Amino acid sequence: MSSESPSVAPEVHPPPTPRSWKQKLGAELRSWAVTLLVVLTVWMVVQSLRGGAKVVGPAPDFTATTLDGRSVKLSELRGKPVVLYFFASWCPVCKVASPVVDRFAAGHPDVTVLGIAAEDADEARAYAKDHPRTFAILPETREMDTAWQVRALPTTVVVDAQGQVVWSRQGALLPFELEWHTP
């Protein structure tokens, strides 16, 4: 008897099939999409942490007219919290933040949410027609712009029931931020 072990044939794998240009392009696009998603997420978080309006303490009063013709005076809303959402229809980050604000407004009827559009009434009206919102929209006035000193869009400001600015955020909102910061 021979002490030789039986020879084992090496496992043979078929050569890999070459990837088509469509497969290569698809893989490259997926890679770019993941990278873009990561970069956008980091950018949104950094923007959110930068802060919001320069206003602290008492909320500057204003009087404005909603797109449906109602007059709103901020000081007359005392007694319950108010969220001011400064945005524009042309702002790409606003397109991400607006649905977050809208869901908050729909789920919190005890909080007045006002969208302040940084554009003229006709542009704001066209936007509202194409993107119906739960909250009232007011075209920004010069008085608001001067008093609130909003540096970038979107900016979200929370005013408590006593008329004090208690929180503001520049940039996109994380879904839980309004829940946490609205009294």
Q: Which pLDDT belongs to residue 94?
A: 94
Mean pLDDT of 85-106: 95
Residue 4: pLDDT over 80 = no
Q: Give the model's confidence band at 152: pLDDT under 50 very low, under 70 low, under 90 confident, else very high.
A: confident
> Which 8-state DSSP code applies to residue 12?
-
0.85 exceeded by pTM: no
Between 159 and 168, name the one with better pLDDT: 159
Distance CA 114, CA 74 (A): 10
Q: pLDDT tens, 38-87? A: 887 776 666 556 666 778 899 999 999 999 999 999 999 999 999 999 99
Element (H, E) at 87: strand 82-87
Distance CA 98, CA 106 (A): 12
Between 43 and 35, name the one with better pLDDT: 35
Angle formed by the axes of helices 92-107 and 21-49, to 10°?
Answer: 60
- Which residues are registered as beta bridge partners of 157? 84, 168
Q: Give the model's confidence band at 111: pLDDT under 50 very low, under 70 low, under 90 confident, else very high.
A: very high
CB 138 within 8 A of CB 65: yes
Judged by DSSP in three states, 141 sits in: coil
Burial string for 140-169 (b: 16+ CB within 10 Å, else e) reads beeebeebbebeebbbbbbbbeebebbbbb
Question: What is the CATH class of 51-181?
Answer: alpha beta
Contacts of 28 (CB under 8 A, 6+ apart): none
